[in-house]
A and B are shown apart, each in its own frame.
Chain A
Amino acid sequence: MKILALETSAKTASAAVVTEGKVLGVTSVTAGLTHSQTVLPLADALLKGVSASLQELDGFAVSTGPGSFTGLRIGISAVKGLAQGLGKSCAGVSTLEGLAWNFQGLSYTVCPVMDARCGQVYTSLFWVNGGAPQRLWEDMAISLEALREKLQSVEGDVMLVGDGAELAFSALSGSGKVLLSPPALRYQSAASVGFAALARFAAGETVSPAELLPAYLRLPQAERELLAREAGKKG
């Protein structure tokens, strides 16, 4: 089985072609251009590089959020269009789950953390035991303080991953049970999204292009409405 995966949830746009247990190819660009300009040429070059045609792919995968609003929409729209045109299936992978897949095959409790601004983080928890990550928590948007409390009830050390991992590490390291992932495994990767998608395809858990939707995580009510009230306080 061969899948093309796109990852555009942050500053880097990347594409990967994966098959069972193997990355056939991966390309990535962090050039400050909008993903709308980079992601399709990237995928095109990648397919040429691995001598695969769009037609022979078994399906498409994309990270569906949380993440950059425009980035997510570009990646998801691109996959929707490709899959619709070719009559193929898709798998939408939570950006947080994709990060946990960076640790596929290792043995850690993995806590993906993405900075959601205003002291909030997007987070989740996965148990990786030498194979595929198993989900322990739903994806959520909570304060760093709330994350600290939730982690108290988790047994053993927790590996922090994602663009908010450093932020969380400095805030939580006092509690002594957090580890900071190595830089090479810390950020979103189209290959990891592809591997997560392979598991979905194997389990028959794919969706049609029309069913593929972004999953923006909403901040808690209080933080959502904080915008102008803060203004009053500071002004």
Chain B
Amino acid sequence: MMNFTSHSPAETEKIGAQLARMLRPGDVVAFRGGMGAGKTAFTRGMASVLSPDAEVASPTFALINDYGGKVPFWHFDMYRITTMDDLYSTGFFDYLEMGGILAVEWSENIDAALPDGTIYVDIRITGEEERAITIGSRKGGGAG
């Protein structure tokens, strides 16, 4: 379990980049934390390492952004995913087996379908610009 305090989106990005350097093909990074917590900033930081040319944006409507990269990096937004059929039809289970790295926003919505070994990134809003970020292998990290 690792705890970080971020004071700006730029700092959140740096923490994302730090995590990205430790990831291996097949890893799933699942975000927990509401609107405006900095999930996309964190993902942008990850992409700066995994897929430097990518333009990162939250895939709210596309559901999945494919950023390419030497090890493929995919960005999911599960905000509108509520059933197993929804999830199946995003191709999520296929991506799990394709040896890339997945960053999953609103992972709360698909908790039951996250694989063993998922890395949870819990981002809590603790001030206007301040965020408490917990990275660990257990659901709900330092939040509870």
Contacts and interface: CB of A to CB of B under 8 A. Distances in A.
A229 B109 CA distance: 9
B97 interface: yes
A74 to B, nearest CB: 10
A221 to B, nearest CB: 9
Contacts of A218: 85
A215 B22 CA distance: 40
B93 to A, nearest CB: 7
A68 B93 contact: yes
B112 A216 contact: no
Nearest to B87: A227
Nearest to A120: B84
Contact of B111 (A117, A224, A231): A231
Interface residues of A, number: 23
A165 B118 CA distance: 26
Most buried by B among A34, A226, A231, A235: A231
A231 B85 contact: no
Please provide the 4 A-B residue pairs with the shortest distance between their CB atoms, ordered closest to farther: A231-B111, A230-B112, A224-B84, A70-B91
B99 interface: yes
A11 B84 contact: no
24 contacts: A32-B97, A68-B94, A69-B89, A69-B91, A69-B94, A70-B94, A71-B94, A117-B84, A118-B84, A118-B113, A216-B85, A216-B88, A223-B84, A224-B84, A224-B85, A227-B81, A227-B109, A228-B110, A230-B111, A230-B112, A231-B109, A231-B111, A235-B111, A235-B144
B14 interface: no
Interface residues of B, number: 24
Nearest to A219: B84
Given A216-B89, A228-B109, 6 more contacts: A11-B97, A32-B99, A70-B91, A227-B82, A229-B112, A230-B111
Interface in B68-123: 81-85, 87-91, 93-94, 97-99, 108-113
Contacts of B85: 216, 218-219, 224
B143 to A, nearest CB: 9
A138 interface: no
Nearest to B113: A227
A48 interface: no
A123 B60 CA distance: 35
B136 interface: no
Contact of A234 (B89, B94, B113, B139): B139
Contact of A32 (B89, B98, B111, B144): B98
